[in-house]
Amino acid sequence: SNAVQALTMELFPQVHVNQDGNIVRPAAADHPPFSVPESLSDPVSSVDVTIDSSSGLWARIYTPPNPSGKPLPFVVYVHGGGFCFLSPASVEYHQLATHLASDTSSVVFSLAYRLAPEHRLPTAYNDLLAAFQWLYSPNARRQLPASADLSRLFLIGDSAGGNIIHNALNIGAPAEVLESLRGVVLLQPYYGGEERTESENRWSNEHAYLTMPFSDVCWRLALPDTDPPSTRGHLFCSPPASGLPAVGLMLVAGGKDVLKDRCLRVAAELEKLGRGAVELH
């Protein structure tokens, strides 16, 4: 609809939503090269690797300077974009991963999961699980930097990326991942539901980056194409906290963000599960 297109253009002017809901994406290369931001004193190298040639699944790996040659923690980063937009090659995520690798002295693996509506959920969840399998394969060992220490694994995801991590862990990560996992960071993870929460009603306004009309569009484009149609009552929108492993977890929710109340629900569930006190800042 025109309303859907207008909402999409507001945030992602490089794409076009057709009347049937399909998205027309730019014809540019899937993952063009980017230079390292000049603000970094030490260059971070990046390389793209193919995880599955049949599906087109790929990732960009960032390696910081490592003069000592010591093993470096390994971060799997899953980007946001409402399941429908952006990639590791988007300027904002390329720069974010570059800074993350430099600032934390970690190898960062930024996953280019397949996007909806061409690939509706649970495709993105399955892509992350496929990436997990690949990381612990002989093929990956030949392509990962020698400094990558997969026994110190961290998962970080923002918005839709946080939802993808949560749901993939609920489905079931490989044993190697669970044994190596040292921490999970969910940055304003993208949860949803049929009834509006107080924060959704209060903070969905002209100043918000994510508004509820746009959020509704993303869910409509991303949820499974079923008959009757999937609704925001789907389990993917509000996964149980019990599926999150008992490791260090940081759950970040903005004080004036529409997703705040849904993030606090997950925090409350974790507290009930005995995962320790939840600190609010």
What is the spatial distance between Cα 217 and Cα 5, in angstroms, rounded to a whole number? Answer: 10
DSSP conformation letters of 93-109: HHHHHHHHHHHHT-EEE
Q: Distance of CA 211 to CAs 3, 21, 216, 218, 265, Å? A: 13, 19, 9, 11, 20
Beta strand pairing call for 248-252 and 72-78: unpaired
Within 10 angstroms of residue 147's Cβ, the number of other Cβ atoms is 18
Residues with a known catalytic role: 159, 257
* Partners of 110 in beta bridges: 60, 77
